Each structure stands twice: as structure tokens, then as C-alpha cells.
A and B are shown apart, each in its own frame.
Chain A
Amino acid sequence: MSKKTLIIISLVVIASFVLAACGAPKAECTDPLGCVTVAKGEPIHLAYAMVISGPDATLGTDSRNGIEIAIADKGGKLLGHDIKFDGEDDQCSAEGGQAAGTKLAADPSIVAVFGTSCSSAARVAMPLWSKAGFTVVSASNTAPDLTLAGNENNHPGYLRTAHSDVVQGAAAAQFAWEKLGVKKAATIHDGSIYADSLQQVFADEFKKLGGEITAQESVSPDQTDMSGVLTSIAAGAPELIYHPIFIQAGTQLILQGRQTPGLENTYQMGADGMFSPDVMEGSGDAVEGVFVSSPDFTQFGPDYEAKFKPAYKAQFGSDPVSIFHAHAYDAFNLIYACVEKVAQGDKEGGEILIGRQALRDCMYATKDFKGLTGNLTCTPTGDCADPKIAVYEYHVGQYPPEKVWP
């Protein structure tokens, strides 16, 4: 190191000490993960990583809209600072998660990340963000392993306001067993983590209730000809087929299932991935009587209908386009409350320090938080949802589908 650099560095250090001394009561960072320092007049940086392009774009933009409404509700300010809200596309894939993860992890000004939209992206991005010290809240990840204690995919700093599929799969099994009185069921997944874990939870729960699983089959997400898989499922004569997959292959199963000998009167059931007007369009008359599980909108707090939905319509010109907007709204408010609580320094708009570990601790300690989706209490592994799953039944020409359970 040359003499000149040394002099410059020491000057800068001295200058910063002097400047710091001029400020209001100066807090010191004692946080084991370091702090984010937000100087006076600077914005607090919150980022998102959601799918905002491609076939699943409605999922991500819907959640992002939820957060934007939440920010607007707070007047765009947090502790007197502006909120800077920007982000990356997670593309609903591992590759997109890697790209978005790397990009955001390199930005030390970020306090918290909202995302990812898809579990497959979270698995890849989460190690990077966890290491960078971020607190991450997802509004739509539902894969069980992300919050499973001891699982390699459960990272410190991760929380979610969406329900774990353990809840959704189990609810589907209970619905089939109790409401429909089904004794034999088959499952179909499409190789995605989402569908595979859902059908496994369903199968385990259904067996526990005393039912029999006749087959656990699999199709590919863009498959058209389902005759082979349906005929081999028909061999077990199940009374219900649980296919928690996505719209393209799902509608083909609905169409062809009705025509396969032995399955004409078999119940069909999907999960929240098939809660969409596209299902109605894709399967025509065959959609009659198909069940889907999804978060129960009718159990949301009164503010959902009275305030949130009108605000959404006013700001984005339509009703919510997917199902996790309210979860995203809550995710933002959880972070908001905790930043307010743990920030040190001048809370009237002056310089503040946000301890990264302190923020995480605060988030995990969340108890009985009154949100749109219910009363949120976070577990030590990051499950904050107050899951209320309902089952809906499709009827021809009627959207949204009719709630039939519970």
C-alpha cells in the first residue's frame, strides 16, 4: 500500500468519526450479522424476487401488487424514510432463482426480500440470501421442506406467510375421506416439487385416515395423451384421483378422465395450481364437479373485502389475478412492524441502524399478528401462515368455483 492511499484512508476514517460525532445520538452496531445503515434522507431498501414473466406471471405480479398496496397504505414511508421497492424475476424456476438470488445477494443495502414466488427458485436463492444476512419472506412458497426443521432446504432468515403444503395436502385428504366418503384414491403428479410433495402428503394422510392409495402415477407438464396413465390407474378402481398439478396437463386429465372406461364417475381433485379461469376454458363441460383446494378467502379478515380488494381494483384495474396477494400484503406488514421495532438511532427520519440478526429474531418471535389472512404466529423454522384451506367445486360457466368445504 502506498503512502498516499494510507493518508487518504486515514483522512476518510477521521472525517467519518468527526461527521458521526456531529449526528444525533449515535447507535453502535453490535449485531452478529452486521447492520444496515440508513442515513438521513436515504430510502430503506426492500426487494422482491417473484415471477413476473412467462406463463406463471400472474402468480408473481399478483403478490407484488399486494405489497405495493401495503406500501401505499403506509404512505410509502417507514420510520420517516422512503421505501425503495424493486427486484428481480425468479422465473418460477431454479435457474431464475439462481440469477435473482445472486443479483440481490450482492446488494448490501437490502434489508429484506419478498419472495420467491416458486419453491424451486427458493431452494437455490435461499442459501445465498441467508448468507448475505437478509430476512426473506415468501408469500407463495408452499413446499413443505422449506420450513422443515433440520432439512437442508430450511435456511435461517427464511419465513413464509403462505401455507405449507403439509396443510393443503392433508386438508384434501380429509375432505376426500370425510366429506366425499371415498375409500380408495389415486394420485398423479407432474414431476414438480410442488405437485410431488402435495400428492405424497395427501397419500400419507389418506392412508392414516384408513384409506387405500391404489396408484401414485406421474405425467409430464405438457403431456397431451393421458390414456395410458389413466387406464393403468383405472386398474385400481379408485373413487378419487388427486392431481395437484398445473393447468395444461391438468385440463387434459379432466377431459380424458371422464372418457376412460372405469373412471367416468371418479371424483377428480386438484390443488391451488388449478384455481384459475383457464381451467374452465381448457376443459369445457368436463369441468363440472372437479374439486380444487385453495386458501379460504371467506375466512380472511373483514379488511380484505372492505379495503384491500377495492384498493387493488383501483390501483391495478382488475380483481386479484391470483391467490397470494393477501399473503404478500401480510408479509410486508410483518417486516414493517419488525423494522420499526428493531431499528436503532433516530426514528424520526434520521440515521438508523437495522440489525440483521435482530430483525430475524423479531420476525421469528411474531405472535398473533393481525393480518389479512388471519392471526399470524411464526414458528422457529419460519412458518407464519394461519392456514385456512377450503375446497371449491367447479361448475360449468361459473367462476370463481363454489366453496363446498369446510
Chain B
Amino acid sequence: MFKRWRQRVTFTDIVVWAIGIAIGFAVVYGTIVTWRRAEYTPEQWINLTIDGLKVGGIYALIALGYTLVYGILRMINFAHSEVFMSGPFTAVFLAMYLDKIGFYNAQPLISLILVTLLSTAVSITVALLLERIAYRRLRYAPRLVPLITAIGASFFLQYTFRGMYGNDPETYPTLDVLQGVWMLGPVPVPKTDLVVIASAFFLMLILYTIVQKTKTGKAMRSVSEDKEAAALMGINVDKIIVFTFGMGGASAGIAGILYALIFSQVHFYMGFIPGLKAFTAAVLGGIGNVVGAWLGGTLLGLIESLGPNLFLSGLGIPAANQLKDGIAFAILVFILIFRPTGLLGERISKTKA
């Protein structure tokens, strides 16, 4: 037993483990130092956690698009970040118009619904067009081909939207209803944050139900198991794939509005970083897995907002918050090293891969 184990272990493994242990130690040490220093009040930790949850919820919704498409087509749809951008970047003009005629703050709920509908519709349209024009013909091409196409499509969409709406960022008008804070016990929490967290959570719940409990969801899962067999069972594979892209587009469009509620600014390049982060989240949770997307997104959001203040500043790194993107992508690297299938990922069998 021990002998076999010794044969299996290579020098690389030992180095990788050593790095892992060193990082783990640094994280624990930094955390202890920070706790000892008691720099932040408990309220502030709660605020940081809420920041993490709200960004995490948005990551999760975008990650869902990556994960669903990957589950069914085994391809990474890198143009999904542009699906996410197209919705809110279009809807901002509606929001600005509604604000101008005074409707936006007079009827905030109806306005929000209108804006969300437009954003979702645009995102779904872009996602479906992508599938129809860029991916369908390449469905049986070698895996590298649709990947490169996705990157090309991503640039194409970015600069198309730049051409249509211009180079400058546009700003969503402020919703007076969502200004200010609600008291969560003794802790003040911005209203926007709570709305975003709650909406993201319910959306994930709905999408999860669709995938797990409905007939279409069942068909989706069977297509992701085996396309040919599913077709033989009378499932219209094309239709299911279109539905999957539509679902990813819808969740991205809504995520875009939630994003706009928090950050206000939208521009043609806004999808890039959230898209990368959401992809990281999808890999972190186990790509192809809906619960994994939610778990990965939430975890990534939390690590990003808590990490710098929790252990980096404890390690004596000045201005630690600028490293939050660094933490996010370091996690991606380490996940790929230590657990390539992600937290909830299934081991991909040869036939699927």
C-alpha cells in the first residue's frame, strides 16, 4: 500500500503540496493577526460579508450561463460576458428616458420591471443569435474551434455595441426608493444590497427548479448526458440547446440590471471582468453544475470582499484591497491545480470530454 503510494507521488506533487500548505499557513496566520488587532467592528465585518454576497449573487447568475452551456455543449462560451453587457447597456437608455419624463421615480417598481424586461430581452436575443450564427455550425467541430469563435464573437459584440452606443460610460439614474439603509438588527445595510441579494437568490432558486423539476429541465439534463441517446428518445436536441442559451441569456440580462443597481455605470467593456470572475466561479463550483455555480459565485464574492481585509492586511500588505482581483484569479489557478473538477464537479468521463 505504502509502496504503491510512494510510486505514484512525483516530485511535482510534493512541490504543489508544499505551496498549498504554505498558502494555507499564510492565510491562517494573517487571519489570526487581523483578529488580534481588532481593526474592524463586527458591523463592518457584516458589511463586508454583505458586499461579498451581493457581488457573489451576480457572479452566480452569470456563472449559470457558462455552466449550462458547458453542461450541454462541452464548450466555454466566452462571449457570455457580452451577453451580460448587452442587456443593461441597452436598457440604460430606457431608464434615462423614463427618468427624463419623471416616470422612473414616480413608479419605481413598474420602471424596474420595464427596464429588466428590456435588458433580459436584449440579452436573450444576443445569446440566441450567438448560438444560431456562431456556434450551431461548429457543434461537431474540434473543441478548439468553437472556443476561438467564442473569443472572436466576444470582441465582435463588444465593438458592435461600442459602435452603436459610443465609447463613454452611461449612468443609470438613481432610484430614490432604494436609497438609504434598512436596519438589520444593529447593522445598517444599504437597501440596494438587500434587494440585489434577495433577487439573485430567488432567481437562482427558480432556475434550479427549472433544471431539476420541469420536463424541459429533464430534457436538458439528458441532452447533457448523451446527445445521441436523447435524440433517439424523441428529444429535440436543437430546441433544448436554444432553450439553454435563452436561459443563460435571461439570467445574464437580469444579473446586468442587478449590477447596474449597485454600480450604476455601464459601458461596452463592462462585461469583461465580471465575465472572467463568473467563469472563475463556475470552475470553482464545478463547471456544468447549477448548484456549483451558485456556491462558486457566492464563495468567490465572499473571498474577494473579506479576503484582503481578513488575511492580507494581517500579513502586513499595505493597501490590501487592490489585490482583490489577484485573490480571485489565484483561486482559479489553485483550483485548477488541486481540484480540476471544482468543488461539486463530477469527474468527466472520457466519452463526455
- Interchain nearest-CB distance for B79 vs A (Å): 20
Q: Which of A217, A262, A282, A284 contacts B319 (CB 8 A)?
A: A217
Q: Which residues of A contact B55 (CB under 8 A)?
A: 225, 227
Cβ of A284 and Cβ of B174 under 8 Å apart?
yes
Q: Which residues of B contact A284 (CB under 8 A)?
A: 171-174, 264
Q: Report the stretch among B44-52, B61-69, B214-222, B332-340 that lies at the interface.
A: B44-52
Nearest 9 pairs of A and B residues by beta carbon: A218-B319, A227-B51, A229-B321, A218-B322, A284-B171, A228-B321, A261-B188, A228-B305, A235-B40
Q: Report the stretch among A27-35, A172-180, A249-257, A298-306 that lies at the interface.
A: A249-257
Q: Which residues of A contact B189 (CB under 8 A)?
A: 261
Cβ of B263 and Cβ of A252 under 8 Å apart?
yes
Cβ of A285 and Cβ of B174 under 8 Å apart?
yes
Q: Which residues of A contact B264 (CB under 8 A)?
A: 255, 283-284
Cβ of B324 and Cβ of A235 under 8 Å apart?
no
Q: Which residues of A contact B39 (CB under 8 A)?
A: 235
Among residues of B, the one whose C-beta sits closest to the C-beta of A282 is: B169
A231 at the interface (CB under 8 A from B): yes
Q: Which of B48, B173, B273 contacts A224 (CB 8 A)?
A: B273
Q: Which of B41, B172, B309 contacts A228 (CB 8 A)?
A: B309
How many residue-residue contacts, CB under 8 A, span A and B?
A: 97
Q: How far is the CA of A286 from the CA of B192 in the complex (A)?
A: 15
Size of the chain A interface, CB-CB below 8 angstroms: 33
Q: Apart from A232-B309, A285-B174, what are 6 other A-B pairs with CB-CB below 8 Å?
A: A216-B318, A227-B55, A228-B304, A229-B321, A252-B265, A285-B173
Q: How far is the CA of A222 from the CA of B171 in the complex (A)?
A: 16
- Interchain nearest-CB distance for A248 vs B (Å): 8
Cβ of B270 and Cβ of A261 under 8 Å apart?
no
- Interchain nearest-CB distance for B227 vs A (Å): 38
Q: How far is the CA of A255 from the CA of B260 in the complex (A)?
A: 12
**B interface, size bucket:** 35 or more
B108 at the interface (CB under 8 A from A): no
- Interchain nearest-CB distance for A188 vs B (Å): 9
Cβ of B190 and Cβ of A228 under 8 Å apart?
no
B13 at the interface (CB under 8 A from A): no
Restricting to B2-47, which residues have a CB under 8 Å from any CB of A? 39-41, 43-44, 47
A residues within 8 Å of B by Cβ?
Answer: 191, 216-220, 222-225, 227-229, 231-232, 234-235, 248, 251-252, 255-256, 259-262, 278, 281-286
Q: How far is the CA of A217 from the CA of B325 in the complex (A)?
A: 15
Can you name 14 A-B residue pairings with CB atoms under 8 Å?
A218-B321, A220-B322, A220-B325, A225-B263, A227-B51, A228-B304, A232-B309, A235-B41, A252-B265, A261-B189, A262-B44, A281-B168, A284-B171, A284-B174
Contact with A along B287-312 (1 / 0, CB 8 A): 00000000000000000110011000
Q: How far is the CA of A223 from the CA of B322 in the complex (A)?
A: 9
Q: How far is the CA of A224 from the CA of B272 in the complex (A)?
A: 11
Q: How far is the CA of A255 from the CA of B264 in the complex (A)?
A: 8
Cβ of B192 and Cβ of A259 under 8 Å apart?
yes
Restricting to B186-230, which residues have a CB under 8 Å from any CB of A? 188-190, 192
- Interchain nearest-CB distance for A228 vs B (Å): 5
- Interchain nearest-CB distance for B35 vs A (Å): 14
Cβ of B265 and Cβ of A278 under 8 Å apart?
no
Among residues of B, the one whose C-beta sits closest to the C-beta of A217 is: B319
- Interchain nearest-CB distance for B111 vs A (Å): 16
Cβ of A224 and Cβ of B270 under 8 Å apart?
yes
- Interchain nearest-CB distance for B167 vs A (Å): 9
Contact with A along B309-350 (1 / 0, CB 8 A): 100010000111110110000000000000000000000000
Among residues of A, the one whose C-beta sits closest to the C-beta of B167 is: A55
Among residues of B, the one whose C-beta sits closest to the C-beta of A189 is: B319
B181 at the interface (CB under 8 A from A): yes
Among residues of A, the one whose C-beta sits closest to the C-beta of B322 is: A218
Cβ of B322 and Cβ of A283 under 8 Å apart?
no
Q: How far is the CA of A248 from the CA of B173 in the complex (A)?
A: 17
- Interchain nearest-CB distance for A10 vs B (Å): 62
Q: How far is the CA of A283 from the CA of B318 in the complex (A)?
A: 28
